[in-house]
Amino acid sequence: MFKFSKFASLSLNKCSKEVHTSSLLNALRFTQEHDELRKTVNKIIEKDINPYVDKWEEQRTYPNREVFKKFGDAGLLGITRSTKYGGLGLDYSFHVAFLEELSNVNCAAIPNSIMVQTDMTTPALERFGSEELKQEFLVPSHAGEMVSCIGVSENQGGSDVANIITKAERKGDELIINGGKMWTTNGVQGDWMCMLAITREGPPHKNKSLICVPLKLPGITCNKIQTMGNNCCDTTEIFFEDVRVPAKNIIGEEGMGFIYQMQQFQDERLALCMTACSAMARYIRDTADYCKERKAFGYPIIQNQAIQFTLAELQTEVEALKALLYCAVAKKMEGEDVTLLATMAKLKCGRLLREVTDKCLQFWGGMGYSSDTLISRALRDGRALSIAGGTDEIMLNIISKFMGLLPKSKPNASKC
């Protein structure tokens, strides 16, 4: 019996119906068990999250740990992870179902914050971490008892990952960390950071390590950054001055951090896209409903062909993106490298999200411009997707590299 089944008897009706329209359904083999998992996710969202989202957005914070604990108790923060480490031991298609249902949260900040834990800080730890590190950081993260954050971007640049400057110098059995991380989601409430830092001399792709850094240590300070959207999750600048952590906190092999992080980015990008793709379907659906109700010139505005065609076109784009994503998922489940597909999906998803939220908002008229409507929050939150997790330009750079378009002599950031 799965852990999530304890909620299965409770009635819910917000499962993502669009999932069932994809021709790639068979590759993913969604079953009744996936539906049960979807219901469990939605139960938590409806009871423990959505009633409070407006308040949390206004307060510009939300109780990370309390929310994570709800998902952790249902086993949802480690769906694909080994039961030995508190996971559910299920295949990635169940995680896809989870990510899709996260789109029912009434803001993007909380799904993003959760995905930091499930798809950004823990994949490398699970793949390469020592038994001791897994017990200390992975198990409590799966349980929702610890909040994690990912420290890659820095003040002087986020796209050029190879040239970050934060150092973790080895002194005996310890690492002494000096530097800073920027734009860190979950930074204020985080218990530990999966940090990319320079740990030794050598070329930029071989001199860095991923390190589990507890955040309640002397020498660590942080500032919350005010952002245009994603208001209720922390976006943070964190400084490290002579911070000491055990050298055994390095994940896997020393010097492999850059490579591990490039792999970890693929989990991050797929997850972000999966939730955003379902969210877009939701915005289109909600906008169509509004247009059926709203009247102008004596009839519902949905009767204008311009509106019908715009929504129909957006829906088509969303289905095309979903097909690309499911293709990537099917390949990932077969153990193939999905860097190119994940990169293409991230590029397309960031751009489409901007288009969907902007065009849908237009049909809400003045209501759309009001801060109170979800569509205006979606537009503000969604703008980040073309930046966070790698910008559109960096995605284009990677795709160009795969296509063999980069001149060999020109330096660029395509290795991200």
Ligand X SMILES: Cc1cc2nc3c(=O)[nH]c(=O)nc-3n(C[C@H](O)[C@H](O)[C@H](O)COP(=O)(O)OP(=O)(O)OC[C@H]3O[C@@H](n4cnc5c(N)ncnc54)[C@H](O)[C@@H]3O)c2cc1C
Query: Which residues are paired to 193 by β-bridges?
Result: 149, 213
Judge contact between 250 and 209, C-beta under 8 A: yes
Distance CA 221, CA 20 (A): 47
**Minimum distance of ligand X from residue 195's CB (angstroms):** 9
Q: Spell out, one character per residue from 231 to 270, where the chain touches ligand X: x when CB under 6 A holds, - when not.
A: ----x-----------------------------------
Judged by CB, which is closer to ligand X: 12, or 394?
394
Distance CA 204, CA 260 (A): 13
If phi > 0 it is left, if psi is from -120 to 50 it is alpha, else beta; for residue 295 that is beta
Scanning 47-55, 295-303, 338-346, 393-401 for contacts with ligand X by CB under 6 A, the matching segment is: 393-401
Scanning 7-15, 127-135, 143-151, 303-311 for contacts with ligand X by CB under 6 A, the matching segment is: 143-151
Give the burial string for 205-218 (b: 16+ CB within 10 Å, else e). Answer: eebbbbbbbbbeee
Tokens standing for 319? 């289905």
Using the 8-state DSSP alphabet, how is residue 225 labeled?
P
**Per annotation, catalytic residue among 268, 293, 317, 355:** 268
- Of 122, 184, 207, 343, the one binding ligand X (CB under 6 A) is 184
Instruction: Check binding of 222 to ligand X (CB under 6 A).
Output: no
**Minimum distance of ligand X from residue 310's CB (angstroms):** 28
Judged by CB, which is closer to ligand X: 78, or 180?
180
Distance CA 42, CA 309 (A): 31
- Of 106, 326, 397, 398, the one binding ligand X (CB under 6 A) is 397
Judged by CB, which is closer to ligand X: 186, or 199?
186
Judge contact between 119 and 65, C-beta under 8 A: no
Instruction: Check binding of 183 to ligand X (CB under 6 A).
Output: yes
Other Cβ atoms less than 10 A from the Cβ of 236: the count is 21
Q: Spell out, one character per residue from 98 to 127, where the chain touches ligand X: x when CB under 6 A holds, - when not.
A: ------------------x-----------
Half-sphere exposure of 242 (CA within 13 A, CB side): 1
* Length of the chain measured in residues: 416
**Minimum distance of ligand X from residue 387's CB (angstroms):** 4
Judged by CB, which is closer to ligand X: 64, or 397?
397
Catalytic status, residue 336: no
Judge contact between 375 and 361, C-beta under 8 A: yes
CA angle 53, 54, 57 (to 5 degrees): 80
**Which residue sits closest to ligand X, CB atoms considered?**
158
Q: How far apart are the first and last CA of the chain?
A: 41
How many residues sit close enough to ligand X to count as binding (CB under 6 A)?
26
Which of helix, strand or coil describes residue 143?
helix
Scanning 212-220, 257-265, 351-359, 385-393 for contacts with ligand X by CB under 6 A, the matching segment is: 385-393
Q: What is the dihedral angle through the alpha carbons of 409, 410, 414, 416, rounded to the nearest 10 degrees?
A: 90
- Nearest Cα neighbor of 311 from 282, 277, 278, 288 is 288
Query: Which helix or strand (DSSP H or E) is residue 16 part of?
Result: none
- Nearest Cα neighbor of 116 from 70, 179, 48, 184 is 184
Judged by CB, which is closer to ligand X: 229, or 252?
229
Judged by CB, which is closer to ligand X: 42, or 185?
185
Judged by CB, which is closer to ligand X: 86, or 350?
350
Instruction: Check binding of 390 to ligand X (CB under 6 A).
Output: yes
Scanning 30-38, 68-76, 198-206, 392-400 for contacts with ligand X by CB under 6 A, the matching segment is: 392-400
- Of 230, 264, 266, 287, the one binding ligand X (CB under 6 A) is 230
- Of 87, 158, 350, 368, the one binding ligand X (CB under 6 A) is 158
CA angle 62, 80, 20 (to 5 degrees): 85
Judged by CB, which is closer to ligand X: 159, or 310?
159
- Of 5, 22, 130, 159, the one binding ligand X (CB under 6 A) is 159
Instruction: Write the burial class of residue 220 (CB in 10 Å: 0-12 exposed, 13-18 middle, 19+ buried).
Output: middle
**Minimum distance of ligand X from residue 34's CB (angstroms):** 29
Residues at the contact surface with ligand X, assessed by CB under 6 A: 116, 149-153, 157-159, 183-185, 227, 230, 235, 384, 387-391, 393-394, 397, 412-413
Catalytic residues: 268
